[in-house]
Each structure stands twice: as C-alpha cells, then as structure tokens.
Structure 1
Amino acid sequence: MVYDGIIIALLVGLFRGGNFKGLADMKIKQAWVFPVLLMIQIVIYILQNKIPILGFYSNTIFILVYLVGMYFLWLNRHHPGFVVIFIGVFLNFLVMALNGGRMPVSIEASAVLDPYFVEALKNGLYGKHAAITESTRLAFLGDIIPLSAPYPREQIISIGDVIMNIGVFFFIQYLMIGKIEKNSTPQVTTTN
C-alpha cells in the first residue's frame, strides 16, 4: 500500500505544479536502512516456507524489522509527515507484536483477493499475515479495509497503512511543492 501512496502523492504533486527536484535534494539520515529492511522482508517472504529455520524465526525477524524501521523514522522526525508515518508504522507494529509477529487479516475483507491468497491465509502460509480469529488482539488494527474496483489494485489495508500513507503524502508534497514555495517566496528588502 505504501507504493500506492507514493505514486498518488507524486501524481498530485505534479498536478499541483511541483517537480521532482525536491526528491533529489532530500536529506534523510541513514537512508540506506529503508531499502535494506525492504529486501529483508522480501527474502523472508520468498524463502520462509522453503527454509524451515527461516520460517521458524520469521515472526521475530518481522518484529525486528519494524523496530529498526521505527528507529529510522524517529531519526528523521523533523521532516514533514515523518511523525505521521511513525504513528502508522507503530500501529502496524503494535498489532503484529500482540499477535505473534503476524499482521491479522480479515477473512471477510480478503474476499476481494484471489482465492489462492485466501486459502494461503487460512493455512498460515501467507507471508507475515495471519487470519483474524477469536483470539486475535486489537483486530481492528489489522488488515480489515478491502480495496477493489474502481481502485486499480485489489488489496486489504489497515488503519496504520492509511495513516502511514497520509504521512508519505505530506512528505512528498513538501518535497515537490513546499520547497519550491519556500524558495520562491519574495524577499523584502528595506532601504534607508
């Protein structure tokens, strides 16, 4: 869902007269952390059912990825939108931590997905996700919001995902437009 938010923010930024120059100029502390965390999650997702020991520790690794990600966001909290992103990530982390390192997913909401994914979810073989059950804690923070047509991609998102994307939107708008407006503000000079 984060990628969708980035694309939407970029399109809105262009529509509002912004440009990509601000994206090139962004200064984020420890910027290498985000791609590394993303790659770790992709590797675990691909290999967790093929390498038993990795599957055994995958929940713990997902929690560690979230902790490092929140630290990265906290380091960069001075950027517009990063505190909002942090709140969204924290809500996702909280529900996952309380549910054994897996994001709870509503089976009813997952009806918008391919039946293969619903079966994998029910069988506990779907990445860092698990079906919501009677014992799920804070289920309302799980993936319970279905997105389908006219939305271009069928998926299920959480309240944390929505909040995170709002923060991403603010940050990208600042980079594409806010910096332009800040730099183009006329300077008033006085003469004696």
Structure 2
Amino acid sequence: MKYFLLLAILFTLVKKRNPLTFIHNIEFQWPLLIIISFGVQIALAFITIETKNKLEWILVLTFLGIIIGLWKNRHLAGIKWMVAGALLNLSALLLHGGLMPVSEEALILTGQTDPSFESDSRHQLMEDSMPYWILGDWIPVFRFVLSPGDFLVGIGIILLIYFHSSKIKRKGERQ
C-alpha cells in the first residue's frame, strides 16, 4: 500500500494540490472502528510471530470492521473503491480458510525466496487446487505481491487523497 500512498502524493502534487491538507479537509465517521481493526491486525502479526498460531477468524472480523467503517464513509471520494477492494480481499479470506493465498511464482518474481508463511498472520501459500486463486495475491509489483482487491483499495486511496487535498495557491491568487 505504500506505493499507492506514494502515487497518491505524486499525482496530487502534479495536479497542483497539497496532499498534506487532505487530513484537515476530511471528516471520517466511525474512525475508531477502522483504527482499532488495523490495530488488531498489527497485534495479530506480533502474536503469530511469537506463538506461530494464526488467528484467522479474528483477521476476518478485522476486515469486517474495516469494511463497516469504510461503508459508513462511502459518501467520500474513493471510499467505494476501497470498500470494493476490501470486499474482494474478505472474499478471498473466507474462501480460503481465513488466510490470503499467495502465489509462489509471484513471490519469486518479486525476489522473495522463502515461501514459508509460518510466522505470517495473514497469508498462506497458494495451492493449485484453490479454485478462487484469482482473488488472492498473485500480481507481482516491485517487492510485493498484490491481489485485485489491493489494486481497488489503492485506487481508492489515490482518489481519497487527491479529491480531499486543497489546491495550491499561487502568489496573489485567491481561493
């Protein structure tokens, strides 16, 4: 997602808007639901590293929390794209036992040689028998493997930042 954030900032600057203003120009409803859901995902990552236990259904519940929080803000530009992407990712989790399948070939293309997901709280190696593999992470981009849902979320992030960033004023120009 950091590449999408970088793209959003660059696109916004090229279009003569200040991406640092979007946070002041936007008012989220239920932001704590989204923040807590992401916080639990971070905690799950540490728990899995320490215990090697994957708490798949807690991960699924955090995705539901994020989707509900985003849906409450669907009136904001870009949010519907993010909801669509999150729903695709949630579908992938539900159809694959609570973990996102990741293509080994795509991992290799991105330079990742260890396909072990023993200490990864969110992913599993994609198997040939997985019928809904297309929802998983199979698209290599630089050092990451992304899903179609990730791309939709990324488009939403770009739109959200761009449309909620103030235009840069030139000297002598009134807003």
Coarse TM-score class (shorter-chain normalised): 0.7 to 0.9
How many angstroms apart in 2 are the aligned matches of 1:145 and 1:175? Answer: 29
Q: If the length of structure 2 is used for normalisation, what is the TM-score? A: 0.87
Partner Cα distance (2:159, 2:79) in 1? 9
Aligned-residue RMSD, C-alpha: 2.2
Q: Give me the whole-angstrom Cα distance separating, in 1, the residues matched to 2:37 and 2:111.
A: 26
Query: What is aligned with 2:57?
Result: 60
Give identity over the alignment, percent: 24
Q: What residue is the counterpart of 2:14 in the other structure? A: 15
Alpha-carbon distance in 2 for matches of 1:130, 1:113: 17
Q: Does 1:114 align with 2:112?
A: yes
Q: 2:146 is matched by which residue type in structure 1?
A: I
Paired residues, number: 169
Q: Tell me, what secondary structure is at the counterpart of 1:64?
A: helix
Partner of 1:140: 134
Q: What residue is the counterpart of 1:32 in the other structure?
A: 32
Match 1:74 to one of 71, 75, 86: 71
Counterpart CA distance in 2 for 1:11 and 1:48 is 35
Give the whole-Å Cα distance in 1 for the aligned partners of 2:36 and 2:4: 20
Report whether the alignment pairs 1:50 with 2:50: yes
Q: Residue 106 of structure 2 contacts residue 139 of structure 2 at CA under 8 Å; is this kept in 1?
A: yes
**What is the distance in 2 between the residues matched to 1:76 and 1:109?**
34
Would you identify which runs of 4 or more consecutive aligned residues in structure 1 move more than 3 Å? none
* C-alpha deviation, 1:5, in angstroms: 1.1
- Aligned equivalents of 1:22, 1:51: Cα separation in 2: 39
Residues 93-151 of structure 1: per-residue CA shift (max 9 Å, x gap): 001111011001001001023323x2x23xx4422101111332310111000112xxx
Secondary structure of the residue aligned to 1:48 is: helix
Structure 2 match to 1:128 = 122
Asked whether the equivalents of residues 13 and 177 of structure 1 are also in contact (C-alpha less than 8 Å), the reply is no
Q: Is the 8 A contact 2:29 2:73 kept in 1?
A: yes
Q: Deviations over 1:133-175 (max 9, x none)?
A: 1332310111000112xxxxx1100100011111111111101
Are the counterparts in 2 of residues 99 and 137 from structure 1 also a CA contact under 8 Å?
no
TM-score (norm 1): 0.80
What is the rounded CA distance, in whole Å, between the counterparts of 1:42 and 1:21 in structure 2?
A: 27
Deviations 1:62-114 (A, max 9, x none): 10001111100110000011111100010000011110110010010010233
Distance across 1 between alignment mates of 2:3 and 2:33:
21
Which amino acid in 1 is paired with 2:102?
V
